[in-house]
Chains A and B, each alone.
Chain A
Amino acid sequence: MNDAPPHGVTAARNPLLSLSSVVKRYDTVLAVAGVDLSVRDGEILTILGPSGSGKTTLLKMVAGFEQPDEGRIRLGERDITEATPASRGIGMVFQNYALFPHMAVAENVAFPLEMRRMGQAQIKERVARALALVGLAGYEKRYPRQLSGGQQQRVALARAVVFEPPILLLDEPFGALDRKLREQMQLEVKRLQRQLGITALFVTHDQEEALVLSDRIAVMNLGRVEQIGTPFEIYAQPVNRFVADFIGESNLYRGTVSAMAQDRLTAGIESGLTITAQTAAPRPVGSTVGIVVRPEAPRALGDCETADNVATGSVTEVVYLGDAIKYVVALDGGAEMTVRWPYRPSSEALPIGARLRLGWSADLVHVVGWD
């Protein structure tokens, strides 16, 4: 793990929600180990991390269901660290939606409005508008168990936004849906978020989902934020080994820096292969680094072609992914490299055992700290 502060873009807009040095302990276990995080007005920020990384605990503290042991949480101008959940006025979509089973759809959506003692006429109008927004007009009288998973999710969304909260929290809301529906709901949430101009803090362990949904991603591990950045930054410029490994598929090699000239770093990896990378951050010769090569970076070279990095090997595994084909290539010297290329019906897939000359340029190699 890296102790360096998380890299990220400096806040351009005012943060709507900000957490400073938030710590949460359970007995002796540090669930959240000092997190600083700002969510900007109008963005979708995803907290991405494996289970046990503290992401759900963090969300619960924002919602008010848990109290931080240290640190402050601010929402707009207001310090909400000790505020009750009811007084925070935050919308939340639970992992299993938490719809009230004894209330019909309209009653569920009306609940937060009734709690705010809104007039009946206004409640009716707002509920109708919220249900129309999620495409559930006409479902007012149904009960949650009469709805499909996707529909329940929509009701939960409508209920969470109907009182126009400044921020919407989503706790792994797509986990229970099948893949197709999940993708559909992800796009729908994004559309809804834009349409309402609402700020959203979203928690997931699914990196693909995070890439699809987020304006920015905060990668969490062992109670700390490892990196905050746009999906592109997180994917292309991971700050450390954990992020490189966790986001997307990557070939990650342990290497020793053998030369550092201007922005070119050359490192020998364990199997004798030498990889050259373009990097802005110089590293001392002899230091151990992580070398990241994304599977889409290498291409197959013709006999006369050359590249910054060249390696030969033979295909040991072929995985057909529909729109792409993934090859596992045993490089001469012992290292293994996974490559993924778009699939074209015109070209035939390579068979197992086929020889390949792979080449990739130095600017497609990313260097991270090893420890």
Chain B
Amino acid sequence: MIPVLRGEQGPVLVGLLPVAFLGLLFLLPVLRLFLLSVEGGTLAHFDRAVTSDLYLTVFIETFRIAAIVTCCSLLMAYPVAYVLSTASPRWVLIGLVFLMLPFWTSILVRTYAWMILLGRNGVLNQALLGAGMIDKPVALIFNTTGVVIGMVHVLLPYMVFPIYSAMLRVNRDLLLAAEGLGASGWSVFRRVFLPLTMPGVIAGTALVFILSLGFYITPALLGGGKVIMIAVLIEQQVRQFLEWGFAAALSCLLLVVAVLFYVLLNRLGRRETIA
């Protein structure tokens, strides 16, 4: 029988399915993870995580890379979003297809492709050597640079889309008005366009930063074991040391930090939209 959705029950029933789905497949595992981390009724795993220099260093490294990736994405995404927001419908379509391309290829394929491009004897180094711009291959891979390049590539669309949609919402008359009131191009941007697109910037930043914190495959492959991000460490704990409890504690810490960061940015974003 098809359930008849009517009155106030309708939306509730419709909402129930995704809530049940999320609850079953997301909240329950998270809860289970948390229980794992405090198994035996002690906080010993957490204690180990926050007191050991090693894990603290990895955490800091993770944040550092996430911050670099977020900054690079922002610097690249803002102009891209601007060009898209002013382009003709045809170019918008072409631009969006190019942006979406990374989404349509497997992350493994993409990461290996970067290895071919950036490796010691990779396409980029060969080209630079051939052009005589460098005398010996530059290390573009198995270091922070490689990890950042790979991650920015994957995460760029997450930054572009919120900014692009914020830019579309900006009334172009406001820019004309500012210009007419005596503002230079730079002033129009700084005083009007940038503040009005800030909500998009904040949303994109939150997305990219939080997603960066949990990146695994890209740093694992492009970092070549030299760049350890927290997700890599957690995986090691589970697969190599079978330390489920400790891995769970690290995961919980990561989750808490991500949530805190999200709340902070969300609040900032709300203030931006009100103001």
User: Which A residues form the contact surface with B (CB < 8 A)?
Assistant: 63-65, 84-86, 88-92, 94-96, 98, 100-102, 111-112, 115-116, 143, 159, 163
Contact A102:B182 (CB < 8 A) given known A65-B176, A115-B187 = no
B136 at the interface (CB under 8 A from A): no
Which parts of B171-226 form the interface with A (CB within 8 Å)? 171, 173-174, 176-184, 187, 191-192, 195-196
Q: Number of contacting residues on B, CB 8 A?
A: 20
Contact A102:B180 (CB < 8 A) given known A94-B173, A96-B173, A115-B187 = no
A sample of 27 cross-chain residue pairs with beta-carbon separation below 8 angstroms, ordered by A number, consists of A64-B180, A65-B176, A65-B179, A84-B179, A85-B176, A85-B179, A86-B180, A86-B184, A89-B182, A92-B177, A94-B177, A96-B171, A96-B173, A98-B176, A100-B174, A101-B196, A102-B195, A102-B196, A111-B178, A111-B183, A111-B191, A112-B181, A112-B182, A115-B182, A115-B184, A116-B182, A163-B181
Query: In the complex, what residues of B have CB within 8 A of residue A102's CB?
Result: 195-196, 272, 275
- Tell which of B171, B174, B182 has the most Cβ of chain A within 10 Å: B182
Cα separation A315 to B121 with both chains bound (whole Å): 96
Which label, helix, strand, loop or mixed, suits the secondary structure of the B interface?
A: helix
B174-A98 in contact (CB<8A):
yes
- Tell which of A86, A90, A116 has the most Cβ of chain B within 10 Å: A86
Least CB distance, A240 to chain B, in whole angstroms = 34
Q: Which among B183, B274, B275 is the interface contact of A115 at CB below 8 angstroms?
A: B183
Which parts of B158-178 form the interface with A (CB within 8 Å)? 171, 173-174, 176-178
Query: In the complex, what residues of B have CB within 8 A of residue A84's CB?
Result: 179
Query: In the complex, what residues of B have CB within 8 A of residue A159's CB?
Result: 181
A90-B191 in contact (CB<8A):
no
Which parts of B258-275 form the interface with A (CB within 8 Å)? 272, 274-275
Least CB distance, A155 to chain B, in whole angstroms = 12
Query: In the complex, what residues of B have CB within 8 A of residue A111's CB?
Result: 178, 181, 183, 191
Nearest-neighbor residue (CB-CB) of A160 within chain B: B181
Shortest 10 CB-CB distances between A and B: which pairs? A115-B182, A98-B177, A112-B181, A98-B173, A85-B179, A85-B180, A102-B195, A115-B183, A92-B180, A86-B182
A163-B182 in contact (CB<8A):
yes
Least CB distance, B181 to chain A, in whole angstroms = 4
A63-B180 in contact (CB<8A):
yes
Least CB distance, B161 to chain A, in whole angstroms = 22
Nearest-neighbor residue (CB-CB) of B195 within chain A: A102
Per-position contact with A for B120-140: 1 when CB-CB < 8 Å, else 0?
000000000000000000000
Query: In the complex, what residues of A have CB within 8 A of residue B179's CB?
Result: 64-65, 84-86
